[in-house]
């Protein structure tokens, strides 16, 4: 997999559902903004026998998740089943 510095921008409004970002999407950064209700995000990585747990988003508090410049974000679960989350990725 090669790294493309001129990545296109992904935008989406997650409304009452979930989205799992995998490396196949080719994203190195994802910005999340909970507009209403409840939302969270969870990684899939286990470290030292401790599994990832969901982290809640705060309403109108932006959050950006990035990876190393030569790697893509993989297995990031965004849960907007109880709210509306605006997503921007590159």
Any domain includes 4:
no
Kindly tell me if the per-residue pLDDT of 88 is higher than 60: yes
- Mean predicted lDDT score pLDDT of the chain: 92
Residues 13 and 34: their CA atoms lie apart, in Å, by 10
pLDDT digits (tens, 9 = 90+) for 49-64: 999 999 999 999 999 9
- CATH code (residue 79): 2.60.120.770
pLDDT band for 27, please (50, 70, 90 cuts).
very high
Residues 5 and 59: their CA atoms lie apart, in Å, by 31
The pLDDT assigned to 68 comes to: 81
Any domain includes 3:
no
Q: Which domain holds residue 69?
A: 10-89
Nearest alpha carbon to residue 70 among 3, 23, 8: 3
pLDDT band for 4, please (50, 70, 90 cuts).
low
Total tally of structural domains belonging to the chain:
1
Any domain includes 1:
no
The pLDDT assigned to 6 comes to: 65
Residues 78 and 41: their CA atoms lie apart, in Å, by 4
pLDDT band for 5, please (50, 70, 90 cuts).
low
Any domain includes 60:
yes
- Label residue 79 left, alpha or beta by phi (over 0 means left) and psi (-120 to 50 means alpha): beta
């Amino acid at each position: 997999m090669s790294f493309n510095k001129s990545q296109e921008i992904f935008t989406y409004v997650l409304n009452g559902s979930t989205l799992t970002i995998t490396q196949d999407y080719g994203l190195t950064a994802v910005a999340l903004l909970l507009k209403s209700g409840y939302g969270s995000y969870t990684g899939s990585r286990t470290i030292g026998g401790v599994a990832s747990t969901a982290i809640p988003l705060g309403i109108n508090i932006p959050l950006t998740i990035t990876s190393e410049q030569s790697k893509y974000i993989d297995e990031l679960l965004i849960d907007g089943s109880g709210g509306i989350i605006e997503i921007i990725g590159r």
